[in-house]
Chain A
Amino acid sequence: MKLPHIDLKELKRLKEENFKERLKFIDWYTNWLKKSSNKTWSSQQKKIIN
């Protein structure tokens, strides 16, 4: 089986970009959370956690 070439620098860069995007999402999500009623956010959280 021929394995793909792995560019570790590229993977590291993609990992860092992914992390930055998740941090941006946290900013978006916390803004949404602040504006949402407790019933709205906690019922959505319940669906994910349960």
Chain B
Amino acid sequence: MEYKYTKERIELEKELNTLDEFVLSFTAILNKLNLNYVIVSGYVSILFGRNRSSEDVDIILEKITLAQFEIMWNELNKLFECIITENVKDAYNDYLTTGCAIRFSKKGEAIPNIEIKFPKTELDIWTLNNKKEILLNRNHLFISPLELQIPFKLFLGSEKDIEDARFLYNLFKDKLNKALLLEFNRKLNIDEVFNRYLT
């Protein structure tokens, strides 16, 4: 695997699969609108070669105003549709601002879809502020820092999550900020899980 890893970003060239293309078509719109977002789901491991698919891709979007959201909604609706509600004000007022997620899929399709939510916790805000830039075939997107993504997968704790964590750790262990990773292990109380599955 060839990639360029720096503190700020990872550059990767690959043959894109349909899930990559789906994600890039969505994030291109968020980028165009200069929105602050971060991908936090299992797609992070798929991006780097894990051989599984996913029915949804989770995105944390920095809290924006209704007016900004309407602009985003209109741009997205050229290619995508919200499968939770057709009404932009309901999507904003009844879902996003009450802590619920909304989902967008390509028009007429249900899977895969993008699940968007506003940050709910300090951890969500930290993730947004410390997101990692990815340059995938010269397309920009932002993912959760791996020093959090790996411990958080262990915290979630399903077999699939542990496999994702092990996959990412195996690939990037020489590049990670170990002190930060261990600090998240401690804060998430998963030292024992980390030692059992990743060392």
Contacts and interface: CB of A to CB of B under 8 A. Distances in A.
Contacts of B46: 45, 49
Interface string B183-196: 00000000000000
A49 B49 contact: no
B2 A23 contact: no
A7 B17 CA distance: 42
Interface in A11-38: 19, 22-23, 26-27, 29-31, 33-34, 36-38
A9 interface: no
B163 interface: yes
Interface in B5-61: 12-19, 46, 49, 51, 53
Given A38-B14, A45-B17, 16 more contacts: A22-B163, A23-B162, A23-B166, A26-B166, A29-B167, A30-B170, A37-B2, A38-B3, A38-B13, A38-B15, A39-B15, A41-B1, A42-B14, A46-B15, A46-B16, A50-B17
Interface in B153-170: 159, 162-163, 166-167, 170
Contacts of B13: 38
B51 A48 contact: yes
A38 B163 contact: no
The range of chain A's interface size is: 20 to 34
Contact of A26 (B16, B19, B167): B167
A49 B53 contact: yes
Contacts of A38: 1-3, 12-15
B2 A42 contact: no
Contacts of B111: none
9 smallest CB-CB distances across A and B, nearest first, come from A42-B14, A30-B170, A42-B15, A49-B17, A46-B17, A43-B15, A38-B14, A50-B18, A49-B53
